[in-house]
Structure 1
Amino acid sequence: MAQQHRKPTAQNAGKAGQIRIIGGQWRGRKLSVLALEGLRPTTDRVKETLFNWLQFELPNARVLDAFAGTGSLGLEALSRGASEVVFVEKSPAASKQLNENIATLQQGNMPPATDVRTGDIMHNLTQFAGAFDIVFLDPPFHQGLLNDCIEGLCKGNLVRKGSWVYIESEQSLTVNAPINWHLHREKNAGQVNYRLYHVA
């Protein structure tokens, strides 16, 4: 997502970058990402930990990558056996690059279902049909988006008993998780807090 304060980083926003698929059928594949200000993919270290937590939940899962950015989390889920991933990204340029990367990965393969939506996640929350098995919430930092999105997920019945919700945020943020979201795992990496909830 092309917004400021996504994650602390020393990376020069003027240089094009890459993301790497770290597991599954596309393991080791590197994909180009745009050098948009504020576009910061989840680090490989954090991603590896997250997908170790979720390894048994991914096969045939329906996944929402709510603040997709580069699509790093959703693409990793596809590589590891998710049956459907919906990406929502506000930046048209980032969405275009994400569609191109999906097409590159799926060449010669029977593709799982993918849906890249360009727009604000808060506007899209009312347009989904049915709940997701896994939701990734990795919004831009310091913009007050996370707790509103959590509320929207619940109001829209987009998570259900058994769903998993991953949250990545600045450490200073208080996450207003619903009472039926049980904290399953939590870690910090630098200034970033990341956690996984299981919906009861």
Structure 2
Amino acid sequence: APTPLSWRLVPANNNNNILLSHGSYTTTKRPSTVVCSSSLKSSNSAEEKRELLKQYGLDPDEFLSDPTPSKVLGGTARRKKLLSPKSMDVRPMMEVVKGAAFGILQAAGGCPTSLRPGRWLDLYSGTGSVGIEAISRGCTEVHFVEMDPWVVSDVLRPNLEWTGFLDNSVIHTVRVETYLERTKGDPFDYISVTPPYMLVDYEILMKQIAESSVIGDDSFIVVEYPFRTDMHETCGCLVKLADRRFGRTNLAIYGPKWAEKKRRS
């Protein structure tokens, strides 16, 4: 039988919790946080993993034999394939861009082979490709912000379960703008920003991030943005550490001033 999942939805305004278990699904009109847990671990047998794929309506042979899927590039889940629906508007970060971003972050943190342990905020998470890469490379916890319930239930959640990272994950099914306005608490160590290019104003988005509680003096921000978009040299207290172009896709990375000095030394 498929591995049962347990979901705990915590409405943003601290209303009573709603418990969802064993594959049941309930929606709420309020923005919510989903804390996922599962007994599936990355060490499970090949047959159990095939059963997991079937649980989500996938052909295990087709999925496992696909030569061009999105993959985890490094760390404990290296080479694991990720769902990335071709018929939906769910566009994961290109692997060459993702690889470059993590290479820069690891070098800035003083460890070329892994990330400094910390918390990651994956905005516009979609398939979860970036946040999953972060856990694989050493992050202890990732918060995924994705507003589309279908993407969460049929793409993001399966990818987290497939990689064995459910216990390190918190899913916020809410608009990014709403999350940034309402979230409180400690800043994140890392933030990734990979929005649908045509649906956001980068000037407004980056200003909102800079004014929110998600960034701190030692945070790093990874921003994927389209060609011919101007990005400021700073984001709040952070400075631009890198700005690279990959065809029509650009990558900007912001970080603390000490990381800039370290990079230039």
Alignment map for 1:95-106 (pairs within 5 Å) = 95-96=152-153, 97-106=155-164
Q: Contact between 2:142 and 2:168, CA under 8 Å: does it hold in 1?
A: yes
Determine the structure 1 residue equivalent to 2:35: none
Amino acid at match of 1:105: T
The whole-number CA distance in structure 2 between the counterparts of 1:32 and 1:179 is: 34
Q: Which runs of 5+ in 1 are unaligned?
A: 1-15
Determine the structure 2 residue equivalent to 1:186: 243
User: Bigger relative contact order, structure 1 or 2, given CA contacts below 8 A and separation 6+?
Assistant: 1
What's the RMSD between the two structures over aligned residues?
A: 2.1
Q: Which has the larger radius of gyration?
A: 2
Deviation at 1:195, TM superposition (A): 1.1
Deviation at 1:118, TM superposition (A): 1.4
The whole-number CA distance in structure 1 between the counterparts of 2:106 and 2:129 is: 16
Determine the structure 1 residue equivalent to 2:229: 173
Alignment map for 1:2-17 (pairs within 5 Å) = none
Alignment map for 1:140-179 (pairs within 5 Å) = 140-176=196-232, 177-178=234-235
Alignment map for 1:1-200 (pairs within 5 Å) = 18-55=69-106, 57=109, 58-96=115-153, 97-106=155-164, 113-125=168-180, 126-176=182-232, 177-178=234-235, 180-200=237-257
Amino acid at match of 2:170: D
Deviation at 1:135, TM superposition (A): 0.5
Q: Contact between 1:59 and 1:83, CA under 8 Å: does it hold in 2?
A: no
Deviation at 1:179, TM superposition (A): 5.9
Distance 1:104 1:128, change over 3 A: farther
SS of structure 1 residue aligned to 2:197: coil
Kindly indicate which of the two structures has a greater share of residues assigned to helix: 2
Q: Contact between 2:147 and 2:174, CA under 8 Å: does it hold in 1?
A: yes
Q: Contact between 1:168 and 1:194, CA under 8 Å: does it hold in 2?
A: yes
Q: Which ranges of 4 or more aligned residues in structure 1 deviate by more than 4 Å?
A: none
Structure 1, 114-123 or 177-186: larger mean CA deviation: 177-186
Aligned length: 182
Q: Contact between 2:69 and 2:83, CA under 8 Å: does it hold in 1?
A: yes
Over the matched positions of the two proteins, sequence identity in percent amounts to 25
The whole-number CA distance in structure 1 between the counterparts of 2:236 and 2:172 is: 30
TM-score (norm 1): 0.82
TM-score (norm 2): 0.63
Distance 1:165 1:61, change over 3 A: same
The whole-number CA distance in structure 2 between the counterparts of 1:133 and 1:143 is: 26
The whole-number CA distance in structure 1 between the counterparts of 2:134 and 2:92 is: 14
